[in-house]
Structure 1
Amino acid sequence: MPLGFPGAPLRLLAAGVALVLGLSGCAPNDALAEQANAGDNKNYIAGDGSVTEYAPESRGEPVQLTGTFYDGTVVDSADFKGQVTVLNIWYAACAPCRVEAPDLQALYEKHQQSGVQFIGVNIRDEAATAAAFERTFGITYPSIDDADGAVLLAMTQYVPPQAVPSTLVLDRQGRVAGRIIGLAEKSTLNALITDAIAEP
């Protein structure tokens, strides 16, 4: 549209610039704003709360990862086969991680009898910081120390690196059956886990 048309393009451009500046000004280090401003045509924005459930026939290959729990135990995704597994990516200073922590523990306790295992993937904290978080929120399932980012890197097909928290529900074959990018709402995660348990 020509610039001479009643000034509308200039007004729209100014409004758009003001909106972008407003968003980035409120949170200069906000990964959401950075990703949105990047304009890289991703079909999601990190941490946007999107939920995806995958039909069995549309799931890809099993997740492949190796990590070490804070107590030194080595864990391999090959060990996940035969049971539903919930992977939660977190770190202690992450505000939504703190909000969802009690719900994750409650769901772990609820589904433990069904053989569901929960594993945290801590991408930032030293052992003492992670342990303090777990004591504060009563978390009793283990977490992988992923400060080097190896596990997160192995899951980039499913989770954008800046999307913390994020939660994956793996089926009994180790494939991603459900995914929550952002805060895991309790009833939603419960539904994803229940559906995975119900599969033959």
Structure 2
Amino acid sequence: MKSSDVDILIIPGWSGSGSDHWQTRWETRLPTARRVEQEDWYKPTRDGWSDRIVAAVRGATRPVVLVAHSAGVSAVAHAAEHLKHGEVAGAFLVAPASERAKRAVPGMGEDFIPHRREKLPFPSVLIASATDPYCTPEEAKALAEAWGSEFVDAGDSGHLNSESGHGPWPDGLLRFAGFLKSLGAVPQRMNH
């Protein structure tokens, strides 16, 4: 499938991905992409953030592909338990936040991390860095295994955000195009 075949839901993490962040750049570059807005970007809560994702998925008119970063990855994992099989075509998950993030980031709710550890009901890829200050490679691999995600080691890439030099992140966009292609033909959108 191609990006024009799907509704791409951008799910930022804590603080909402600023103007130089690759998610914001993709949102403006990909015509079918839109951001899932959260009530408070600085105080993530499991139910609040996941409910907004579920509502955005159910409001989509084409098959949905989720593009999540950091705490947004956590929100996708929590939202997954409320999504029916076929509502999401796939998820592109980048730089998950972990217990390290909960300790380092103010406002990271106790109910938000730890993550759900059940298999996601849709295909997914999880990209993680060996030098992410918010998640060790071992934690990221364990999440990928629990979720049934393909694991991609991004090497020495920090938190894969603008602060680590990944503003435009062209390699990520190429990998995202490959992920879309791996999803195959455009599935029929389930009725709600």
Identify the structure with bigger relative contact order (alpha carbons < 8 Å, sequence gap 6+).
1
TM-score strictly above 0.5: no
Q: TM-score, normalised by structure 2?
A: 0.30
Bigger-Rg structure (1/2) = 1
Q: TM-score, normalised by structure 1?
A: 0.29
